[in-house]
Structure 1
Amino acid sequence: MAPLVSRKDNSSLFSFNSTWQVLGPFQIGTREATWGADPLEYVGGFRNLSYDPKATFRSSLPANGTATWNITNAVQTSSSPGAANASLSVSYSNVDWDFLKVVYGWAAVQYQAWARGEIIVGGNATQHVILHTDAILEYWIDDTHYFGGDFYSFRKAPSVLHLKPGAHKIDLRLVRDVRAFGGILEPTIDVIVDLQRASGTLELAKPGILMSDVVDGTLATPVGSVYLRNSGEETIEIVGIQPSNVGASFSFVGSDLSSQSLITSDTDQLTLEQTSDHGGHNSTSTVIAAGQTRPLTFNVSLPTHNASSVAYNITYRIVNSTQHFTLPVSQMLNHISVYRPHKITYFHPGGIVSYAMLRPPAKNATCHSGQTKLPVLLALHGAGLEADSPMVTGALDPVSDLCAWVLFPTGVTPWSGDDWHNWGFADVETAIDAIPTWIQNVGWKGHSVDTNRWIVSGHSNGGQGTWHALTQRPEYVLAAAPVSGYASIQNYVPYVLWQPADPRRTAIISASLNSYRHEMLMANARGIPIQQQHGEIDDNVPAYNSRLLSQQLYLAGTNSSYNEVKSKNHWWDTVMTTPELVDFYYTATRNQDVLPRSLEDFSILVGDPGDMGSKGGIKVTYLKDPGQYGRADAKGRTIKTSNVLSLEFDPVLWNEAVTVNGHLLKLTEAATSSGSPISVYASGNTWSIGTPQVETTSPQRHQRQLGSMTAILRSQGPFVIRQPLGSANTSHLALQISRNLHQYFQADAVIISAYTIPTNVTGNVITLAIGSSLEPLQSDFSIRVSESGVSIRDHQGQHQEYEEEARGAAFLRPLDGGRLDLVLWGADEEGLRQATRVVPMLTGVGQPDFVVLGESAKWRGIEGALAMGFFDSRWEVTASSVVETG
């Protein structure tokens, strides 16, 4: 056995070994790692293997079909008194990557391997540390499993470890993903592990305060946030926060707390009632579990008109203790002209503070006389960029006199959480709605804003986000300019090298992503002016994507202007202000179309009604089978539908009789004085006015609950992660879920121990359960779990029982108020760990409404799922679902 070589700096408490034992390579498909698909699990998992240079493992990638162990030197290791890190670069010369790319494209240079090293801890005491895992999705420290890691190197929520002196084994699952690593250069896997000593108590997870800029002496918006990490081993309660500079004006949002209060949720109150009823706890304070990172939100105000900074003291204590401690935090203020792009803050629906960059109309804006309310020009950034980067905000400087409100949303994170889709797009809409508040805050006297008229543009991932806005919110889009954007996740990097699976299972994964296949949704763009642009030699997002969508627009009966810039790659300095785009922006701001547009002949394509707005005054509210696209074609007053269960009509545009699938419906008779949408629905072969009749035992699926498992991200408030009372073996998984939600979405989560689901919270719930520890919410819900396994009632009403073969399950179920509960169940702790992996985190994974996992899912991926599929509008399993029978 080749020993691991450690380089120990005697002045440092920590070090990583300089040589690592690596085993690979093995096949992996685009975003497949979430589902397991690790062939080494077939032989017990890498963690249970010992280094053996003579051992061989079957693999589809290397010469001779075998993977072997090798020793790899770290590119760099370093140690300092309170930190250590190691950089690894793994590559394989025994794979003909070039030829594989000829056949399979970029999908061929995605692969996986494992690497083993050691963390050496000196001294005589247990050390509190945080571990950053850049570009790593999964790892083991000794015998503890961590899934989620930090694939995009955000460094927002590292794992907190408490390491005893000595050597600690660290096993890293290395996954090469083209969207994260690129597809052009050599197919290496480059990762970093970085260990830093922590305080062992409350600390700032990120320096400073997320707050708005100061425009012409006025704070643009009042809400702020700090990010706190509990690096200790006991739960911490935040007692209060107050200005540290004497005499400062300061206010909080929320109920009074001895003249101080925090912006908190009812979930926090419940947490304290569950965990802390000694030591004079405060019912409106925030609790942070050991190892957890959470945002703390509060109102900010300036101590003086010309202040250069603000500073606060956060007061906290250990739960069940009376001793108080203080953590200071400060932030330098950015003073800027009101006419320059500046930071505004607001509340995301998930209960966190987010920000966008806003550029109000200039004094010399080229507006038509009589224009009082101006449209919003949305500029969506590309992957890996913060919205406050000069590269983003400066891209439209050459058109500073546009007659529009220019908004640079962040989508919450540099990757926009989920590619400007669910969580990220909610951020866009909330940022737009924050503009009127800004106008009031700063006393703006210029042109007002029409928040229902959008000009949408964006580059790269932002270009893809532009397509998403265009196809999912066509009623609001005046015009759109997608630049160098990809058509869909599947078209960007194909999914061809997943582990072999029954086509029914791959179809379900694909259907889970139906809302994001823009090439299927081009009919929704009809009537909207579109200016496409792409660099001819783009080697990041191939121009094929824009060419394809240009063609699909034409085939859908609409059109676009397409500008392919000769000899240009993915980015150049004026990529957002070419002459064609500049002309388009000015033309779009002068567009006087009445929205929503009244169209005589149009179609609506819907992948998920929860994502899709209306078009032409018609909204598809439910599909018959959400595993398939729905379609509505309107010609005059005649509408034909496919896979559509119900529709809503805007009474302003639809105030006469219509014919739906041959049935005459007199909408005028259903109109109300409030102007509410008029609903019609299908029942058998008949269409009627009204909403589908629902039995009391079969609740209707609420709009926010529609879609695949990613519907859990439509939380109205912080997530609640619920673990059974007394189940200490689930606390590590609850913490991981919380960490992943914060890492990838910057989301907030409250971890509680409770048998029943709280009734006084607004956020969506994630429930962890082992064996029989899950209570039923509806007596006849389609999926039931118990100590003996999982039972599913299929679309024919037949019960399929999965007993000892069911190791884990994940499924949505409804809560009141339109909330959702994502149940994660395991036959044992290992099975629950398997189920926990499918909580939405990375885009493109394709999680359906429910999945039951067998043991073989660890190495076979989705083919190891015993059942998977969708719920219809009444929470019944659809016919398109896979429910294996015995």
Structure 2
Amino acid sequence: MSRVSYLFFLVLFLLFCHVASNDPSSILPLDRQHQGHSSLAFSTTWQILGPFQIGTREATWGADPLEYSGGFRQLQYDENAEFRSSLPSNGNAKWQIINATQTSSTASSANASLSVSYSNVDWDFLKLVYGWAAVQYQAWARGEITVTGNETQSVILYTDAILEFRVDGVDYFGGDFYTYRKAPPVLHLTPGTHEINVRLVRDVRAFGGILKPTIDVLLDLRATSGTLELAKPGILVSDMVDGKLASPIASVTLRNTGENDIEIVSIQPVDVRTPVSLHGLVSQVVLAQSPPALTCSQTKTTSFTSAVYSVTLVAGQTRPVDIVSLPAFNASLIYFTITYKAVNGDGKLSFLHVSQNLTKRSTYDPHKVTYLHPGGMVSYAMLRAPAKNATCSPGKKKLPILLALHGAGLEADNGIVAHALDPVADLCSWVLFPTGVTPWSGDDWHNWGFTDVEAAVNSIPSWIEHVGWQGPDVNINRWIVTGHSNGGQGTWFSLTHRPDRIVAAAPISGYASIQKYVSYELWQPMDPKRTSIISGSLNSYRHEMLMENPKGIPILQQHGQIDDNVPAYNSRLLSQQLFQAGTNSSYNEVPGQNHWWDTVMTTPQLVDFYHKQTASNDTIPRRLSEFSFVVGDPGDMGSKGGITVTHLEDAGQYGKVYVKGRIIRTVNILGLDFDPQIWAAESVTVDGKELELADMLSVSRTTGSWMIGTVYRTENDTLHRSSRQLGAMTAILRTRGPFIIHHQGNSQTAHIALQVSRNLHQYFYADSIITSAAVDNTKYTGNVITVTIGEAPPSLHPDFPIHVNAAGVSVRDSRGGIHGYTKNDTGRLGAAFLRPLKGERLELVLWGTDDFGLAMAARLVPMLTGVGQPDFVVLGESAAWRGVEGALSLGFFDHEWGVTASSVLS
């Protein structure tokens, strides 16, 4: 049988067996697909209440003025009611009725588009005073979902451009602000009407700052099978490169749309050949070359218990499932059968099928390579190997990597990204287009996204071995970095946080920092100390404060002169800062050009720069006789001039290092490490004290005076904070393995645990294990998120400064004083704080005195960039409308997990 005939026969066979295709909606049972007596619909008219002010990324902190009146959920439509607001004329916000701009309804789907605007606000004048921050505002909308028929409908709800909503009294925070459509909530709607309340938040980063300040959102319901489904069509797998699969790693994303937990029993192809592993399950790969023996029954597989984790999806959960150890075979299609069963069910097996056509590329063209992100799931990048005609210096055996970082909303495999550097196909370098895991790069190429960059870089040697590459080798420690827009900002992050790896950099049309892009005006009022805590949480991302770090690195900036998306002011400001820091940089502002044009990545100036810098023979890391650098978060920061800051004295303030020869002066620094390549076993003078490095290349001053040795003093690694544990609350994202989300087993904490899992997957494509069983820290490698009401498991740190119980929370300050907060005194309470685990792991505790307090705390799990979550926060009930000012205490932990003196404790 020919391959074409076989594939045709295979398709007919699958249709005969009623097997699901790549479209999740098509896996409905046939009776559900064709029943006409049941349907879904959104209301065509909606009640709207607003507008109210909101600051840049403030919504995570609550800051909803209607909460002062009991919350929108408690309010009923009243055309005469007025609510105090700082935005509209006469200072009053009112109800209005609007029609959805579009609605549609079928037996298995329904959607409604809303467009909300306000003519009673002088937006133009406010913009003159407050800039783009003035066109950010919030409102609420109320409508209905109607389910006809006699059966409960299992549905998923897409919430495009929405951060928060409420269905039948159940709150959901996280939504889908960037319209990823990765992890919608699963709802089980009974026949009748269901109230839906939607918090509308206009954010310039998401909606833009130039056009009319409307809020445009989409609600989209899709019926599901009520069991296991493909959350995303197909399989994430590498391309075929000259007859070989470029990477042995693949992934399929699954969603449990039922009401019972599901266990994956096995993943196996139609044609059983070479064993591959599925995080603890033995599977096989399909080689679509010769016809297998086809049968509607499941072929027997071998399985074993994973030392890492078993693949279970709780009801409503979406998870990526990794498939590793695929051979470098030549094929056109891979096809898997997923066998699963209900947990605590009758043991009956069910089947789901997924296939993926493989794309064939040349080695010398950008092609997809897959690899494991440290978070435990599969990610991908586009890789272009050095061309045959690359003009390299004679004898140059290891070539650098040209990293090209994409802008917001783009996938790396999009032709606009992957082929942007085709005009310079002859570069003497490897060219890598990371994805940052998601189209918005997870978190703007910072923590999670930058980890993905480094994972992509480190995957190239494996690619070389896997495909049998015979060309020039790669030097994974020599980077030329470029990127456009958000990728330009990511280029600044690379420059300022990995200077000892950077040969050169070309940031294009990038913004200086989140705060410089859209100012943080119009937040709810807060005292300056609280402001400083929030700002300090974002210190690592304020590139305008870090321009000393790139000294010695050639930099070419480029920006369109009339850019109305990212104003050229951002690049002009950083150009000035670079000049004042004595950095070797040049600035090219292109007349008459806006944010994007076809050759934005390959202007003549950039082409010359790429050729010159990829051919550079500069020694990396550079040996500089005099330099300085600034550290916002040692957990993010690499070395500069061979010196790495290991700890800051106060995590909420910048640390600075000044070097002249072997004389070093520091500010707010607690520990330093020295690279032996640059700092041989000789003496250095640190803050006036001479130290002999000898064999120990670490110095610290935990006792007040500099001495040889590290910051650590005991073998108990939970007593001292280090490496991946450093930074603000975003340090929880430095997980090594899937997140473990532990809850108490009741409905309130289980709901929040599922929300946290959904948000982590939605915004980072992260994987998580949800469990109510006691967490065995010897079994898992990932960071833990504990969701609890009342009591919390004890800390591994024997003297941790924060304690919670059913009555309230207490915090011990830097002087030993105890600050207690009880629900009897302050109302409902919530808290979110980091705690140490062994092996540089972290636990994030989400706690509340009740479900309201817990929900307030859960909103602070890192999700959107620019929010500014410090190490610990205790929220009073008033945080719901006062935002940060409603935090009873917030701040940072020091190197011994003590509360710093700069923290706020009321």
TM-score calculated relative to the size of structure 1: 0.94
Q: 3-state DSSP class of the match of 1:743?
A: helix
1:19-418 equivalences under 5 Å are 19-244=45-270, 246-252=271-277, 257=282, 266=307, 268=309, 285-299=310-324, 301=326, 305=330, 307-320=331-344, 321-418=346-443
Residues 275 and 282 in structure 2, CA contact (< 8 A), matched pair in contact too: no
User: CA shift at 1:612, angstroms?
Assistant: 0.2
Q: Please show how residues 475-490 of structure 1 align to structure 2 within 5 Å.
A: 475-490=500-515
Aligned partners of 2:258 and 2:316 also within 8 Å: yes
CA deviation profile, 1:601-631 (whole Å, cap 9, x unmatched): 0011000000000010101100000000000
Q: Structure 2: which amino acid aligns with 1:861?
A: G
Deviation at 1:581, TM superposition (A): 0.3
Q: What is aligned with 1:276? A: none
Contact 2:281–2:304 (8 Å) recurs in 1? no
Q: What displacement does 1:249 show?
A: 3.6
Name the SS of the counterpart of 1:524 in structure 2.
coil
1:709 alignment counterpart: 729
| One-letter code aligned to 1:719 | F
The match for 2:781 is 762
Matches within 5 A, 1:827-838: 827-838=849-860
Whether 2:593 is the aligned partner of 1:573: answer: no
Partner deviation per Cα, 1:163-203 (whole Å, 9 max, x = no partner): 00000000000000000000000000000000000010000
Query: What is the one-letter code of the residue matched to 1:308?
Result: S
Q: Which moved more, 1:458-467 or 1:678-687?
A: 678-687
DSSP-derived class of the 2:572 partner: helix
Shift of 1:452: 0.4
Mapping 1:651-690, distance limit 5 Å: 651-655=676-680, 656-668=682-694, 670-671=695-696, 678-690=697-709
8 Å contact 1:812–1:823 — kept in the other structure?
yes
Paired position in structure 1 for 2:798: 779
Task: Let me know the Cα RMSD of the aligned residues.
Answer: 1.6
Indicate if the aligned counterparts of 2:247 and 2:328 stay in contact, CA closer than 8 A. no
CA distance in 1, matches of 2:540, 2:405: 19
Task: Say if 2:490 is the partner of 1:471.
Answer: no
CA contact (8 A) 1:252 1:261 kept: no
Separation in structure 2 between the aligned mates of residue 258 and residue 526 of structure 1, nearest angstrom: 51
> Greater CA deviation, 519-528 or 751-760?
751-760
1:702, distance to aligned residue in structure 2 (A): 2.0
Shift of the alpha carbon at 1:264? 8.8
CA distance in 1, matches of 2:102, 2:489: 37
Question: Which deviates further from its counterpart, 171-180 or 308-317?
Answer: 308-317
Give per-residue Cα distances to partners, 1:360-404, cap 9 Å, x unaligned: 001101111111100000000000000000000111010000010
CA contact (8 A) 2:735 2:783 kept: yes
CA drift of 1:463 comes to: 0.2
| Alpha-carbon distance between aligned partners in 1 of 2:510 and 2:334, rounded to the nearest angstrom | 40
| CA–CA separation in structure 2 for the residues paired with 1:347 and 1:329 | 21
**Alpha-carbon offset, residue 778 of structure 1:** 2.8
* Aligned equivalent of 1:841, options 863, 881, 888: 863
Secondary structure of the residue that 1:525 maps to in structure 2?
coil
Aligned: 1:801 with 2:826: no
Structure 1 residues 407 and 258 mapped into 2: Cα distance closer, same or farther (>3 Å)?
A: closer
Distance in 1 between the 2:320 and 2:123 partners? 44
The more displaced of 759-768 and 103-112 is 759-768
Percent identity of paired positions between Structure 1 and Structure 2: 65
* Aligned partners of 1:316 and 1:325 also within 8 Å: yes
Which string of whole-angstrom CA distances, capped at 9 and with x for unpartnered residues, describes residues 744-765 of structure 1? 0000000011345533210000
Matching residue of 1:872: 894
CA deviations 1:505-547 (Å, max 9, x no partner) are 1111010000000000010000000000000000000000000
1:693–1:87 Cα change, 3 Å:
closer
The one-letter code of the counterpart of 1:204 is: L
Q: Mark the runs of 5 or more structure 1 residues left unpaired by the alignment.
A: 1-8, 269-284, 672-677
Length, aligned pairs only: 850
Offset at 1:793? Answer: 0.6
What is aligned with 2:878? 856
1:226-269 CA-to-partner distances (Å, cap 9, x unmatched) read 0000000000000001111x35444226556598578996453x
* Whole-angstrom CA distance in 2 between matches of 1:522 and 1:732: 44
* CA distance, structure 1, for counterparts of residue 896 and residue 304 of structure 2: 36
| One-letter amino acid matched to 2:362 | S
Give the 3-state SS of the residue equivalent to 2:763 in structure 1. Answer: helix
Distance 1:559 1:20, change over 3 A: same
> SS at the partner of 2:162?
coil
> Which structure 2 residue ranges, 5 or more long, are not aligned?
1-34, 285-300
Q: Which amino acid aligns with 1:829?
A: D
For each residue in 1:533-588, what CA deviation from the matched residue of structure 2 results, as whole angstroms up to 9, or x when unmatched? 00000000000000000000111121311000001000000000000000000000
Query: Contact 2:386 / 2:472 at 8 angstroms: preserved in 1?
Result: yes
Name the aligned partner's letter for residue 53 of structure 2.
Q
Counterpart residue number, 1:508: 533
TM (norm. structure 2) is: 0.92
3-state secondary structure, aligned to 2:175 = coil
1:735 maps onto 2:754 in alignment:
yes
| Structure-2 change in CA distance of 1:388 and 1:693 (3 Å) | closer
CA distance in 2, matches of 1:542, 1:262: 56
Higher mean alpha-carbon deviation, 258-267 vs 850-859, is at: 258-267
Native 8 Å contact 1:254 1:264 kept in 2:
no
